[in-house]
Chains A and B, each alone.
Chain A
Amino acid sequence: MKMLFERFMAISTADPDDTRRRRILNILLVSIGILSLLALAASLAAIFLEVQRWENVKLLIIGSIVTVLGMLIIYLINIFWSGRVAATIFLVFLTLVFAFGDTPEQVSDGRSLFAFAIPIIMASILLAPWLSFVFGTMSGVIVSVIAVSIDRVPNIPAIAGFFVIALVSWLSAGNLEQALKELRDINLNLDKVVVERTQALAESLARERIEAGRNQAILNSIADGVIVFDRNWNAILANPAVRSMLEISRDQVAGKNFRELIQQPGLSPHGRDLLSAMMEHETQPPSFRIEWNGKTLSVSAAQVYDMRNDINVNIGTVAVFRDFTREAELEKLKSTFVAIVSHELRTPLNAILGYSEMFKETVYGPMNEKQVNMADRIMKNTKRLLGLINDLLDQAQMEAGKLTIQMGPVKPAELLETLHGLMDKTAADKNLTLTSEIDPNLPDTINGDAARLQQILVNLVNNAVKFTEQGSIRVRLWRPKENKWGIVISDTGDGIPPSEIPYIFETFRQVDGAATRLHGGFGLGLSIVKQLVHMMNGEIEVESVLGEGSTFMITLPLVIPEKVAVRRS
């Protein structure tokens, strides 16, 4: 019913003001039409019931019919043609009805005067605010003409009243229209904002979807396995590579906690320990290897930080798994190969060394000086080869990560004693003196890898002997700081050109090609020393003055074994 009414009232126009006016006009037209129909019905009923006679209600009946028809015509104009025309006709009609609907006396100076206010007010609402003045003037003219026609003086205050009403109507309707216009502008602006926002949101959503899709595509296509954990170590993302690498299904990883994941039966117990350790360490863990379903996997984990607002917030961890099976096999093969080759090389070299020594020691009878000298040369060259093989083996082990530091109690005095035992003769052969001293502040026993420390000392002293033609080599063990201890090895040799100092610790390099020929040897010794020092969390530095000598300084963390510390306190 309401819908039918709405449809009946509906106006199709783009101008909201026009729509509003025409709707109001429609309401008025329908109301008046209905009132007229009721009046017509009441009149006809009165005649039918013989309460009134035809003559008495004749005018009312005709008037009602005319009004209904008039309203219908205006309604049709309003709906299908123009609101302005319809409103103008309606108001003129209304004014004429008021002008001729009563006696001229009443119209010019009586009760009907007030009725003219109605079209004046309506004009401002239905047409335009300023038209209230037009209808005011029209009403004034009509009232005046009627007054004059019956020889009366027009009611000037009443006509002035029409203008006051017109003024008030004009002001209020104008204000109303202005307010409505502003409201519409606000709404329009609001609509625009909403549209813009909606569009921006849609665009950013689309962008995000593209970005997410691209990231997903990258993750899906990389060969490394990637699992992303949130800060509570729940897996929030896993790419297909990691699922096939670990041989687990999507359901076995999605949303699962890290602790659950490492309970997979394919994981070796050692790998489980390493992974648990990775989780517990809040600091950046290095990469390590685990065995999973017979595969060797290299695992590295990186914490993810949210840098927003300049505050580092840990929001999770990205774990990257790389299939290292083939590399691990190759490494194993390589280190086995190196071990076999070095053993196979060392045994015959040991024999050559032994036999040449026997010559030199004249085990099978005396030899002349040249022969003894030759045996000595054979010995020295053999030792050089053996040294080279040892270096190569160490280098290979270091590259394979197999050379490890094994800490234990070490007596610095014993290190020096062994060093003298091994190197005194080498130094003496070149008429060099090897001296050593220990800082009294250095504890008798410290923590360290005795074999590797010995290797460092021997390598550095060997190096010093090689590059020193006369003078001495001094070894000093000291304690530069409360928690540090150091090795200082100085020689009175050729020195190292400053431009070459940055390269002396490099693998396979020696200062100045000529020196290689003069002194023999191979550039691995210092490189191994540096790597060993770094594995012990130490530092190595070198100072050198050309023609005066070089000084190698090693600084290592000083840890006193607990048993000793207790005994001392």
Chain B
Amino acid sequence: MSELALIIEDDEDLANIFAEALRGVGFEVEHVADGKIAQERLKSGRAPFLVLLDMHLPHVSGGQLLTQIKQDERFANTMVIITTADARMGEAYVNQADFVLIKPISFVQLRDLTSRLKPKDQS
């Protein structure tokens, strides 16, 4: 079973592109478009290998979700990539997340980054 990547992103197109990049690298992709739903999702279910977390979400902010992830032991090995359009906000979270990507995020950039992160189980 391949690693799970959870995309928390309210923009459908961006989520689509991110999913395509991650699938291209070999991740199994799960997408949540709402902060509140993401909060519920993180309470149970399979722990993702990677979370692509948008900071600007409906109902519950990315910052709150990040805190939730960091406090949950099940996610001790989960990598968090923050995606935000606000460079200052990105800087503020740089120490709490594994990576911070400032929007616009390039398909190639995301694909190359995640491909490096993914364990090389095939070879």
Contacts and interface: CB of A to CB of B under 8 A. Distances in A.
Q: Do A and B bind each other?
A: yes
Given A363-B24, A451-B87, A451-B91, A346 B17 contact: no
B24 A350 contact: no
B56 to A, nearest CB: 8
A383 B109 CA distance: 14
A359 B94 CA distance: 31
B11 A354 contact: no
A230 interface: no
Interface string A323-353: 0000000000000000000110011111101
A340 to B, nearest CB: 11
A347 B85 contact: yes
B89 to A, nearest CB: 12
A49 to B, nearest CB: 133
Contact of A343 (B14, B17, B85): B85
B28 interface: no
A349 to B, nearest CB: 6
A350 B17 CA distance: 10
B85 A354 contact: no
Given A343-B85, A363-B20, A363-B24, A350 B91 contact: no
Interface in B77-123: 85, 87-88, 91, 103-108, 111
A350 B108 contact: no
Given A343-B85, A361-B108, A451-B87, A351 B103 contact: no
Central interface residue in B13, B16, B24, B105, by most chain A CB within 10 Å? B13
Contacts of A349: 104
Interface residues of A, number: 19
A93 interface: no
B20 to A, nearest CB: 6
A82 to B, nearest CB: 109
Interface string B56-71: 1000000000000000
A145 to B, nearest CB: 133
A354 B87 contact: no
A342 B103 CA distance: 12
Interface residues of B, dominant DSSP: helix
A383 B107 CA distance: 13
A347 B20 CA distance: 17
Contacts, number: 56
B103 A354 contact: no
Interface in B12-60: 13-14, 16-18, 20, 24, 56
A386 B106 CA distance: 12
A426 to B, nearest CB: 12
A358 B103 contact: no
Contact of B17 (A342, A355, A382): A355
Interface string A363-396: 1000000000000000000110010000000000
A354 B106 contact: yes
B53 to A, nearest CB: 16
B11 A347 contact: yes
Contacts of B17: 351, 354-355, 357-358
B87 A357 contact: no
A361 B107 CA distance: 9
A350 B91 CA distance: 20
Contact of A357 (B11, B13, B91, B106): B106
Given A347-B85, A363-B20, A451-B87, A355 B106 contact: no
Contact of A358 (B14, B20, B88): B20
Nearest to A350: B104
A346 B106 contact: no
A358 B87 CA distance: 25
A355 B103 contact: no
A350 B18 CA distance: 11
A347 B56 CA distance: 11
Contacts of B106: 353-354, 357
A355 B11 CA distance: 14
A348 B24 contact: no
Interface centre among B87, B105, B107 (most CB of A within 10 A): B107
Given A343-B85, A347-B85, A363-B24, A358 B11 contact: no
Contacts of A382: 104
Given A343-B85, A451-B91, A354 B24 contact: no
26 contacts: A346-B85, A346-B103, A347-B85, A347-B103, A349-B104, A350-B11, A351-B11, A351-B16, A351-B17, A353-B107, A354-B14, A354-B16, A354-B17, A354-B106, A354-B107, A355-B13, A357-B17, A358-B107, A361-B107, A361-B108, A363-B20, A363-B107, A382-B104, A383-B104, A451-B88, A451-B91
Interface of B: 11, 13-14, 16-18, 20, 24, 56, 85, 87-88, 91, 103-108, 111
Given A347-B14, A383-B104, 9 more contacts: A343-B56, A343-B85, A347-B11, A350-B11, A350-B105, A354-B13, A354-B16, A357-B17, A386-B104
